[in-house]
Chains A and B, each alone.
Chain A
Amino acid sequence: MGALETSPPASTAAAPARAESAAAEQGWSARLRNRLLLLAAAALLLAALLLGAVGLRAVEQRLAAEVAATSVTVGRGLAQQFEVALAAGVPFEELTGVEAFLRRATGFDPRIGFAALLDAEGRVAHAAGSLPESLAGGGVGSLEDAPRLGLGGHLAVPVAVRPEGAAETATPAAAYVVVGVEAGLSADQRRTFLLHATLAVLALLLLLLAILRPLLWNGLERPAEALAGLAAAVRRGDLAQTTWLAAPGPLGRLLAAARGRLASVNAGFQAFLLSAFAARAGHFEPPVLREITAVVRRALADYRLPPVTGAWPLPLGDAALRRSAFFALLLGEALLLPGWRALPALQDLGPPLAVAAVQLPLLLSLPLGLLVARRLLAGFAEGLVFTAGALIAAAALLGLALADGVAAVVALRLLGGLGLGLALRPLAAG
C-alpha cells in the first residue's frame, strides 16, 4: 500500500469488514438485545396477567350488589307463594310439588344455580338445582342476621317467609328461601374479556417491540457494529476510517475513546512524516536520503493513513433499519387490532370500501408524516421527533378502541400514519 494513499476505501476492503462486523453483531450485542426484548415481553405479559386478575376481581366485587338484588327478587317471588300456603295453614312438610316449583326458578336463568326452602334453623327442606356441599350437608345454621351467603361460587340472600300480614320485626321467620346466583361474571362474559384482553395485549406487544427495536438498535447494536468495524479496519492497517456515531451511556463513551485513540495514532504518523520530510530537507547525500525514504516506507508498509487528521466514515449495515421499518409496518397493522367496535360499520360498507377506508388513510398520511418530520428535524432533536410520533401513534391506537364508526376509523388511521411517519424519519436519519 502506498505511503500517503488518500483514495476512499475500496469496496473489496469494505466487504470483509461488513462480514466481520455482521458476525460481531450476532455475538454479544445480539444476545443482550434478545435478553432485553425477552424481559420486556415477559414484563408485559406478567403485567397483563396481574392487571387482568386484579381487574376481574374488582369487577366481580362491584357486581355483588346486582347479584344480590337478583337473588332477592327471585327469592321474594318464591317466598310470596310460600306465604300464601302458610296463610292457608298448610305446613311446609306437607307441601307437594315444591321441588318442581323451585326448579322453575332455577331454569329461568342459567346464572341461577339453585333455589332452596330452608326451615327456621337453616336446614334444607326442599331444593332444586345443584346444591352446594355446605348447604346439602345439613344447612347453614341460623339465618336471622345473615345478609348474604357465599355458597360454592354463588351468592345468595336469604328471604324470610312469614305469615301474610305479619310484621317483619315482631314475627320470627317460619322459613327462608335461598336463591343462589352465580357470583361474578358468567363464562361468556369471561370469554369476551379474555378475547378482547388477548387482542389488546398482542397489539401492545407489537407496539412494545416496535418501540424497543429502534432504541436497542441506536443504543446497542449500531455502536457494537461500529466498534467491531473499527477494530477490523485497524487490524487490516486501515487507519483512514473512523466512526462518527454517537450513542448514549458508557458504550457511547467507549466509541468516543476509540475514535480519540485512533485520531491520536494518526496524529503520531502525521508528526513522524513531517519530521521525516524535515530531515530529508536538511541533507543532500543520496545514501542518507535513500535511508530516510526506506525508513518511511517501512513505517508505512501495510498502513493506510487518512488524507488529513480526519478520516473516512466507516460504512455500517442497514439490516437493523430494515427490521425496524418492518416492525413499524406491523405496528401500523397492529393499530387496527383494538378497532373491533368499528367492525359492524365496516362490514356494512362492503369489502372493497372497508379495505380502502382502513388502508388508504395510513398510506396517505405516512408520507405526509415523513415530510413533516424532515422539516421538524431541522430544528428539533431526533429523539423528540421520534417520541412525538410514537405518542401520536399510541394515541391513535387508544382512540381506535373507542371508535365505532367509519369516519372515526379513517381519522384515527390518518393520525396513526402521521405518527408512524414522524417516528420513522428519525430512524432513517440515524
Chain B
Amino acid sequence: MPGALAARLTLALSAVLLLLALLTGLVLEAVRGDAERELREGRFVYTLVELQQRVETPLALGLGMESQAFLQQQLEAEAAADPEILSIDLFDAEGRLLYSTDGAGIRDAVPEGWLQALQAMPAPAEAAREVSAAVWRVPERGGQALGVALRNDFGLEVGGLALRHAVSEIGAEVLRAESLALSLLLLALALGAGLAGGLGFWLLCRPLDREAAALAAALSDPTAEADAEVSVAAQGPSVEVARLLEALRRAERRCATAAAEVERIDGRT
C-alpha cells in the first residue's frame, strides 16, 4: 500500500493530538473554574464589606444591632440581587441570629463552625491591610459560607455577617453544554491538525515511495536495461540499489558465461 509509513505516522500523531486536546480541555476547565470562583467570591466579599460598613456606621452612633430593623430589608435586597446567594445572616457575638434572609427561618443560632472561624480571625489592624484577610470561609454542603466580623468603635467584636452561596449549582446545565461544545471544538481542531500533519507526512514520503516502487520494478525484471532503474530523482536508496543491481548483474553474467563455456566443452567432446 503506498503511503503505509505516512499512514502509520498520521495515526500516531492524531492519537497524540487528541490527547493534547483532552489535556488542554482539562487544564482550561480547571483555570475557568478557578477564575469563576475568584470572581464570584470577590463579588460576594464586596457585598459583605458594603453591608459591614452599613451596619458599623450606626454602631458608632451608639445604636445596637437589634434596633436597626432596616437591616433586614437591606440584607434581603442584597440577597435578591444575586441568584447565587443562598442567604445572608447577621448574628451577635454569641452566635444568636438577629437578621436573616433564610426563608425557612428555623434556626435561631448560627453553626458552631462560623463562630470558630470568626474567633480565628486576625486582629483588626492586620485584617485592614488586605480585604481577603478580613474574610473567613467555611465550606458547606453544595456551597460555601463567607463572613466578616462586626466591630464597634472600640474595636470590640459585636457579631458577624455571613453570606452563604452555591458553588456552580445555578446554570450547571448551561455550563455542561458549553464545556461539551468547547471539548468538541478542541477535538475537531486536533483532528484537523492531525490530518494536516498527515498530509505533510505523505508529501515527505511520496518521493521515497515512488523511488522505491520504481527500484523494486527494476529489481524484479532481469531483462531491464542497465540504467533504467535509477533514472528517478535519487532521494532514497537509489545508490545502494544501483550498486546491488550492478553486482548481481555481474554475478549473473559470470554465471551465464561459465555455463556457456561448460556447455561448449561438453559439446566439443
Residues of A near any B CB (own CB < 8 A): 24, 28, 32, 35-36, 39-40, 43-44, 46-48, 50-52, 54-56, 58-59, 62-63, 66-67, 69-70, 73-74, 76-77, 108-109, 111, 185-186, 189, 192-193, 196-197, 200-201, 204, 207-208, 211-212, 215-216, 219-220, 224, 227-228, 230-231, 234-235, 237, 239, 248-254, 256-258, 260-262, 264-265, 268-269, 271-272, 275-276, 279, 282-283, 285, 288, 291-292, 295-296, 298-299, 303, 338, 394, 397-398, 401-402
Binds A, one of B8-16, B97-105, B144-152: B8-16
Q: Check if B156 is an interface residue, CB within 8 A of chain A.
A: no
A66 close to B208 (CB less than 8 A): no
- Secondary structure at chain A's binding surface: helix, strand, loop or mixed? helix
Cβ of B187 to closest chain A Cβ, rounded Å: 10
Cβ of A95 to closest chain B Cβ, rounded Å: 18
8 pairs of A and B residues whose beta carbons are closest in the complex: A299-B258, A249-B4, A43-B197, A47-B193, A250-B212, A248-B4, A231-B244, A257-B219
Give B42's nearest chain A residue, CB to CB: A109
Contacts of A252 in B (CB 8 A): 4
Contacts of B213 in A (CB 8 A): 250, 253-254
A48 close to B24 (CB less than 8 A): yes
Residue-wise interface mask of B (4-36) relative to A, using a CB-CB cutoff of 8 A (1 in contact, 0 not): 110011001101110111111111101110111
Contacts of A62 in B (CB 8 A): 32, 178
- The one of A66, A258, A275 that contacts B39, using a Cβ cutoff of 8 Å: A66
A47 close to B26 (CB less than 8 A): no
Contacts of B35 in A (CB 8 A): 59, 63, 66, 185-186, 189
A43 close to B23 (CB less than 8 A): no
Q: Check if B259 is an interface residue, CB within 8 A of chain A.
A: yes
Q: How far is the CA of A227 from the CA of B245 in the complex (A)?
A: 11
A251 close to B208 (CB less than 8 A): yes
Residues of B near any A CB (own CB < 8 A): 1-5, 8-9, 12-13, 15-17, 19-28, 30-32, 34-36, 38-40, 42-43, 46-47, 49-50, 81-82, 131, 178, 182, 185-186, 189-190, 193-194, 196-197, 200-201, 204-205, 208-210, 212-213, 215-217, 219-220, 222, 235-237, 240-241, 243-245, 247-248, 251-252, 254-259, 261-263, 265-266, 269
Cβ of A265 to closest chain B Cβ, rounded Å: 5
A208 close to B222 (CB less than 8 A): no
11 A-B contact pairs sorted by A residue (CB < 8 Å):
A36-B204, A59-B31, A73-B82, A192-B34, A193-B28, A204-B19, A248-B5, A265-B252, A265-B255, A276-B258, A394-B15
- The one of B2, B46, B82 that contacts A109, using a Cβ cutoff of 8 Å: B46
Q: How far is the CA of A196 from the CA of B196 in the complex (A)?
A: 26
Q: How far is the CA of A298 from the CA of B265 in the complex (A)?
A: 15
Contacts of B36 in A (CB 8 A): 63, 66
Cβ of B216 to closest chain A Cβ, rounded Å: 4
Contacts of B209 in A (CB 8 A): 249-251
- The one of B2, B257, B265 that contacts A249, using a Cβ cutoff of 8 Å: B2
Q: How far is the CA of A249 from the CA of B240 in the complex (A)?
A: 18
Q: How far is the CA of A207 from the CA of B9 in the complex (A)?
A: 13
Q: How far is the CA of A40 from the CA of B9 in the complex (A)?
A: 9
Q: How far is the CA of A249 from the CA of B11 in the complex (A)?
A: 16
- The one of B25, B43, B204 that contacts A70, using a Cβ cutoff of 8 Å: B43
Known pairs A55-B28, A248-B1; A43 contacts B248 (CB<8 A): no
Q: How far is the CA of A186 from the CA of B36 in the complex (A)?
A: 11
Contacts of B258 in A (CB 8 A): 272, 276, 295-296, 298-299
Q: How far is the CA of A87 from the CA of B25 in the complex (A)?
A: 51
B255 close to A268 (CB less than 8 A): yes
Q: How far is the CA of A283 from the CA of B266 in the complex (A)?
A: 8
B27 close to A279 (CB less than 8 A): no
Count the A-B residue pairs with Cβ separation under 8 angstroms: how many?
Answer: 288
Q: How far is the CA of A398 from the CA of B43 in the complex (A)?
A: 35
Cβ of B264 to closest chain A Cβ, rounded Å: 9
- The one of A200, A208, A254, A256 that contacts B12, using a Cβ cutoff of 8 Å: A208
Give B179's nearest chain A residue, CB to CB: A62
Cβ of A222 to closest chain B Cβ, rounded Å: 12
Cβ of B113 to closest chain A Cβ, rounded Å: 23
Contacts of B261 in A (CB 8 A): 295
Q: How far is the CA of A262 from the CA of B12 in the complex (A)?
A: 35
Known pairs A28-B236, A63-B39; A264 contacts B23 (CB<8 A): no
- The one of B21, B244, B252, B263 that contacts A268, using a Cβ cutoff of 8 Å: B252
A59 close to B32 (CB less than 8 A): yes
A235 close to B243 (CB less than 8 A): yes
Known pairs A73-B81, A109-B42, A189-B31; A204 contacts B266 (CB<8 A): no
Give A278's nearest chain B residue, CB to CB: B266
Q: How far is the CA of A250 from the CA of B216 in the complex (A)?
A: 8
Cβ of B148 to closest chain A Cβ, rounded Å: 13
Contacts of A109 in B (CB 8 A): 42, 46, 131
B255 close to A36 (CB less than 8 A): no
Cβ of A54 to closest chain B Cβ, rounded Å: 6
Residue of A256, A264, A265 contacting most chain B CB atoms (<10 Å): A265
Q: How far is the CA of A212 from the CA of B198 in the complex (A)?
A: 13
B190 close to A51 (CB less than 8 A): yes
B201 close to A51 (CB less than 8 A): no
Extra contacts, 15 of them, besides A35-B204, A265-B251, A268-B256 (Cβ < 8 A), are A32-B205, A32-B236, A47-B194, A59-B182, A66-B40, A69-B39, A111-B39, A193-B31, A228-B237, A250-B4, A253-B216, A268-B255, A292-B265, A338-B23, A398-B22
Contacts of B31 in A (CB 8 A): 59, 185, 189, 192-193, 196
A299 close to B20 (CB less than 8 A): no
Give A74's nearest chain B residue, CB to CB: B46
Cβ of A248 to closest chain B Cβ, rounded Å: 4
Contacts of B254 in A (CB 8 A): 299, 303
B23 close to A70 (CB less than 8 A): no
Q: How far is the CA of A319 from the CA of B249 in the complex (A)?
A: 32
Cβ of B218 to closest chain A Cβ, rounded Å: 8
Q: How far is the CA of A212 from the CA of B26 in the complex (A)?
A: 25
- The one of B2, B8, B23, B28 that contacts A401, using a Cβ cutoff of 8 Å: B23
